[in-house]
Amino acid sequence: MSSSVVSTVSSQTNALASSKRASAQAALAYAKQARASSSGIWVGVFAITMSFAAFTSALFVREGTSDWSHLTLPTVLYFNTLILLASSLTVEMARRVLAAEPVQAGKGTSQKAGAWVWITLLLGLAFCAGQYRAWQELRAEGIYLATNPNSSFFYLLSFLHALHVLVGILVLAYLAVRLMASRGAIRRSLFDNTAIYWHFMGVLWVYLFLLCRMKL
């Protein structure tokens, strides 16, 4: 009898221990997954950088040919650059709000972070609208994609960058909705990685803008 009691107790202890072990394992798996997402985003950033490096080398090769001319960039681009840099600041604000409560973000915190994400998203959209405006200004001057190699490179680089920004905007929209709706039930790693991607979009644009400014 007593031995069966002991065994019951020990099996309960075992069950407790195994459930603890299971949750520790789950936490470990979660941490691994978060690390993998972080590696993933950096690898992605690297691949995009490599693609634009290839475009840059194409630009350098093309620069040496006879029909290379000059392109005056629309002034709205300076304004767009500022908007995109500002959006980098706002996404960083959101990240800091969430980082203040690392384990479980309360409703207030979540919504505050969500608000910053909405602002970032709107700034991102404003940037895309601004880029569209720049293309329209060029078209109004009669400068199209195939007009000369300079315009080809400008349209190509700015369009591909805008496409990447739009992908970022989609993820931001998902995050903003989730943050406003519930109690921060988003994966923190997803948020942090989106922020890294968004900062990268800013850095990439500054690089492309300088490249176009100096070379085209």
Partner 1 sequence: MEEGAVQQAHVHAPPTGFWRKYVFSLDHKVIGKQYYALGLVAVFTGMFLSWLMRIHMVWPAAKIPLLEHLSPAGAPGGVITPEYYLSLLTMHGTLMVFFVLTNAPFAAFGNYFLPIQIGAEDMAFPRFNMMSFWTTFLAWVVLMLAFFIPDGPPIAGWTSYAPLSAIGKDAGPGMQFGMSLWGLSIGIFCIASLLGALNFIATTLDLRAKGMTLMRMPLCCWAWFITSCIALLAFAVLLPACILLILDRHFGTSFYIPGGLVVSDRLQPHSGGSPLLWQHLFWFFGHPEVYIAILPSMGIVSHILVNSMRKPLLSAKVVIYSMMSIGFLSYMVWGHHMFLSGMNPMSALAFSFPTLTITIPATILTLMWLGSLYGANLQINSASLFALGFISMFVAGGVSGFFLAQPSIDIYLHATYFVVGHFHMVMGVASLFGVFTGTYFWFPKMTGRMMNETLGKLHFWITFIGTYCIFMPFHYLGLIGNVRRYQSFVDDFMTPYIGVHKFVTVCALITGAGQFIFLFNLIYSRFKGKPAPENPWNATSLEWSIPSPPPWNNFGDRHPVVYHDPYQYGVKGSKGDFVMQDSPEQVVPASGD
Residues near partner 1, by CB under 8 A:
22-23, 25-27, 29-30, 32-33, 35-37, 39-40, 43-44, 46-48, 50-51, 54-55, 57-58, 61-62, 65-68, 103-104, 145-146, 149, 152, 156, 160, 185, 187-188
Nearest approach, Cβ of 110 to partner 1 (angstroms)? 12
Question: Is residue 185 classed as helix, strand or coil in its secondary structure?
Answer: coil
| Of residues 11 and 75, the one with the C-beta less far from partner 1 | 11
Q: Which residues of 130-143 are buried (b: 16+ CB within 10 A; e: fewer)?
A: bbeebbeebeeeeb
| Of residues 133 and 188, the one with the C-beta less far from partner 1 | 188
| Of residues 48 and 85, the one with the C-beta less far from partner 1 | 48
Give dist(CA 45, CA 52) in Å, integer: 11
Nearest approach, Cβ of 54 to partner 1 (angstroms)? 4
| Of residues 61 and 140, the one with the C-beta less far from partner 1 | 61
Nearest approach, Cβ of 141 to partner 1 (angstroms)? 18
Nearest approach, Cβ of 55 to partner 1 (angstroms)? 5
When computed from its CA atoms, the radius of gyration of the chain, rounded to whole angstroms, is 25
